[in-house]
């Protein structure tokens, strides 16, 4: 049961984490609109392979922190402050993100699979993100740090990332389209960080 639950958490957390437009998903969208789905899918597989490694490293770190509750207590309080600030910024300060996909994405001759791995490696946000996910859900008894369960979460994270990149690829499928992000994604990010802040606050006060 813990293996299945870890897989679901891994998939959903990765899927949600890739929703906001960033280097990875907008690159996949740009490749899809200019070079076709096949190359965009290869790029996405490359990104997902890197995510496998990053998630595994992060969850090993989360397992260490889970065995040292005194460190977790401090990190939870710091994290709560950070997510409150992020919520305020994205909901009330950040500009509207409804814009065209940037044109800086060059048509490199590099294999798109390797390109995806390299660009994925430049994105270090999954490391703290997965540490937080692992520690938080483990605190609620919903996440297991057994080796087989970690592997399930890692596979789920790769598939969740691939699924959301697939959504971007499908959305920007035609070469003649002018790809645009039609939703103010800062609002989406703000709502996500607000939910995380509420969960964190509940966890902190529940243990007081």
pLDDT in tens, 50-64: 999 999 999 998 898
Whole-number pLDDT of residue 186: 61
Name residue 100's beta-bridge partners.
180
What average pLDDT does this structure show over 112-129? 85
Note whether 153 and 143 are within 8 A (CB).
yes
For residue 100, give the 3-state DSSP assignment.
strand
Write down the domain spans for the chain.
2-206
For residue 101, give the 3-state DSSP assignment.
coil
Q: Does 160 have pLDDT greater than 60?
A: yes
Whole-number pLDDT of residue 194: 81
Q: Does 189 have pLDDT greater than 70?
A: no
Tokens representing 170 are 């499908």
Looking at per-residue confidence, does 105 or 137 come out higher?
Answer: 137
pTM higher than 0.75 for the full model? no
Q: Does 149 have pLDDT greater than 90?
A: yes
Whole-number pLDDT of residue 53: 95
Which residues, including other chains, have CB under 8 Å from residue 107's CB and lie 6 or more apart?
A: 34, 35
> What's the mean pLDDT when you consider all of the chain?
79
Looking at per-residue confidence, does 62 or 191 come out higher?
Answer: 62
Whole-number pLDDT of residue 207: 64
Whole-number pLDDT of residue 11: 96
Q: In terms of C-beta density within 10 A (0-12 exposed, 13-18 middle, 19 or more buried), how is residue 160 classed?
A: buried
């Amino acid at each position: 049961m813990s293996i299945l639950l870890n897989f679901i958490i891994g998939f959903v957390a990765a899927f949600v984490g890739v929703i906001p437009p960033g280097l990875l998903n907008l690159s996949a969208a740009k490749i899809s609109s200019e070079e076709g789905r096949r190359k965009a899918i290869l790029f996405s597989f490359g990104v997902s392979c890197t995510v496998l490694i990053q998630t595994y490293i992060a969850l090993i770190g989360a397992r260490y922190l889970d065995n040292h509750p005194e460190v977790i207590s401090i990190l939870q309080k710091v994290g709560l402050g950070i997510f409150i600030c992020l919520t305020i910024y994205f909901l009330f300060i950040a500009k509207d993100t409804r814009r065209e996909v940037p044109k800086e994405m060059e048509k490199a001759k590099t294999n798109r699979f390797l390109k995806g791995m390299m660009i994925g490696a430049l994105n270090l946000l999954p490391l703290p993100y997965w540490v937080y996910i692992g520690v938080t859900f483990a605190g609620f008894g919903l996440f297991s740090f057994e080796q087989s369960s970690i592997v399930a979460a890692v596979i789920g994270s790769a598939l969740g990332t691939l699924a959301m990149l697939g959504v971007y690829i499908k959305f920007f499928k035609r070469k003649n389209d002018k790809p645009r992000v039609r939703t103010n994604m800062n609002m989406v990010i703000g709502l996500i960080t607000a939910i995380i802040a509420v969960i964190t606050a509940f966890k902190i006060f529940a243990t007081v």
